[in-house]
């Protein structure tokens, strides 16, 4: 079998710190730790948010012209200098993570040279087209046609959750889909990081029930549903307090709508782990997740989770076991689920234990090892053709 040499093409690797970039950086580190050569191609900025892993070949890009998403970039094309570096690298497998100009250019380059190509689905682009219909609706139909064309080109499509695979099938997106879940650092995200002194210092009483929301603060994450559910339940139980972790364009407006909340701003590492573990409940109404990294982090931190009954999240939360599923965009239903969680302390604590136990099944090395096995299967198949 040929040596495995992976070229990874992505629209987001170091300029934004989000679930996609962190997942891909972790993959590159794992490949390098296994002695597997890997080269990354993607856009960047002058002061990137991530000190990235591996070698990144920066490719041309433009800002995304959608309000609230301006810091994201669109990789426009596969430049001549990037092609030259790829030829020097001499890949045996191409992994394309984004259906943008760069990804399409890399796909054509690989097809021309008969190099096997795989892809992964990280962002539910079609749901964002619905959310930003004012800006994107005119191109939704041609975009969906492009998606169908794009994903049928690959030997494998790696998808983070079974519910996302089912959703893509419903949307008519083709492909040989394989599960590539997300992992969690269960040492970092751990109930032992709970810090009562920190809670007191930020204004929470010991008997307050702190309900956390952790995400980039943009309205499409259903931040409004969280805010309104909190306010609704607070009318009945003053112990309920809001903890909002993250930053983004919706932060200032959200602070005005929820003045009694504690907003930490952007947090990472031990600060993030402490914030999770120091809460009592996690609520995340977003229904655009392909997996739900923040939900898994909350589970590992020992929190019962109230999440949308939607793709991604419902693959992690078992209704009534480690949390509850709320109807999409329903403030009333999320309020109801929160009331159920806070009504029974022993049940709430038991759900937190179940969350932790379930999170222990998501270990990064095992998950990325499975992906490498899929890579090798592709190489073996291509060698027989």
136 CB burial (10 A radius; 0-12, 13-18, 19+): middle
What number is the average pLDDT over the span 231-249? 97
6-183+363-384, CATH topology level: Rossmann fold (3.40.50)
Q: Which two tokens stand for residue 154?
A: 């690959």
Bridge partner residues of 263 (DSSP): 244
CA distances 348 to 110, 238, 285, 296, 305, Å, are 52, 18, 19, 17, 10
Alpha helices, H only, 1-100:
19-33, 80-89
**Lowest model confidence (mean pLDDT) among 96-100, 113-117, 130-134, 138-142:** 130-134
How many Å apart are CA 223 and CA 249, to the nearest integer?
12
pLDDT at 383: 75
Assigned CATH class of 191-359: alpha beta
Quick check: do 6-183+363-384 and 191-359 share a fold?
yes
Q: List pLDDT tens digits, range 160-184.
A: 988 889 888 988 888 999 999 999 9
pTM of the model: 0.79
How many Å apart are CA 238 and CA 349, to the nearest integer?
20
- Residue 68 pLDDT level (bands cut at 50, 70, 90): low
Q: Which two tokens stand for residue 126?
A: 């079609």
In 3D, which of 177, 169, 170 has the Cα closest to residue 119?
177
Average pLDDT value for the chain: 92
Question: What's the CA angle centered on 272, arms 270 and 273, to 5 degrees?
Answer: 60
Write down how long the chain is.
Answer: 385
pLDDT at 239: 97
- Residue 130 pLDDT level (bands cut at 50, 70, 90): low
pLDDT at 311: 81
Q: Write the DSSP assignment of 183-249 as a string of letters.
A: ---TTTS-GGG--HHHHHHTT--TT-EEEEEES---GGGTHHHHHHHHHHHHTT-TTEEEEEE--ST
How many Å apart are CA 305 and CA 292, to the nearest integer?
11
pLDDT at 136: 57
- Residue 385 pLDDT level (bands cut at 50, 70, 90): low
**Residue 131 above 60 pLDDT?**
no
What number is the average pLDDT over the span 31-36? 98
Task: Say which residues have a Cβ less than 8 Å from residue 57's Cβ, sequence separation at least 6.
Answer: 39, 40, 41, 42, 82, 85, 86
pLDDT at 122: 82
> Where exactly are the structural domains of the chain?
6-183+363-384, 191-359
């Amino acid at each position: 079998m040929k040596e495995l040499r992976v070229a990874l093409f992505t629209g987001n690797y170091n300029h934004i710190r989000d679930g996609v970039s962190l997942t891909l950086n972790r993959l590159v580190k794992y490949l390098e730790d296994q002695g597997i050569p890997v080269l990354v191609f993607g856009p960047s900025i002058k002061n990137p948010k991530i000190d990235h892993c591996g070698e990144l070949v920066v490719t041309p890009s433009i800002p995304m012209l959608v309000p609230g998403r301006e810091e994201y970039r669109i990789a426009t094309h596969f430049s001549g200098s990037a092609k030259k570096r790829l030829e020097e690298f001499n890949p045996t497998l191409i992994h394309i993570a984004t259906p943008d100009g760069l990804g399409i250019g890399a796909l054509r380059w690989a097809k021309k040279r008969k190099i096997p190509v795989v892809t992964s689905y990280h962002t539910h682009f079609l749901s964002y087209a619905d959310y930003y219909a004012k800006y994107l609706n005119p191109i939704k139909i041609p975009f969906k046609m492009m998606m169908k064309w794009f994903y049928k080109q690959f030997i494998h499509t790696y998808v983070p959750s079974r519910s996302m695979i089912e959703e893509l099938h419903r949307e008519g997106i083709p492909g040989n889909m394989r599960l590539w879940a997300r992992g969690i650092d269960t040492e970092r995200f751990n109930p032992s990081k709970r810090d009562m002194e920190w809670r007191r210092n930020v204004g929470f009483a010991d008997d307050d029930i702190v309900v956390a929301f952790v995400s980039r603060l943009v309205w499409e994450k259903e931040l409004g549903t969280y805010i309104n559910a909190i306010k609704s339940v607070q009318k009945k139980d003053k112990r309920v307090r809001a903890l909002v972790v993250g930053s983004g364009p919706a932060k200032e407006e959200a602070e005005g709508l929820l003045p009694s909340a504690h907003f930490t701003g952007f947090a990472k590492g031990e600060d993030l782990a402490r914030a999770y573990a120091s809460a009592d409940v996690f609520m995340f109404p977003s229904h655009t997740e392909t997996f739900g990294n923040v939900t898994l982090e909350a589970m590992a931190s020992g929190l019962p989770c109230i999440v949308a009954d939607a793709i991604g999240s419902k693959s992690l939360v078992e209704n009534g076991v480690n949390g509850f599923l709320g109807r999409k965009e329903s403030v009333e239903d999320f309020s109801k689920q929160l009331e159920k969680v806070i009504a029974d302390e022993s049940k709430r604590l038991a759900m937190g234990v179940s969350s932790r136990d379930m999170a222990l099944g998501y270990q990064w090395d095992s998950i990325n090892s499975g992906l490498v096995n899929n890579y090798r299967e592709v190489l073996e198949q291509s060698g027989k053709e």
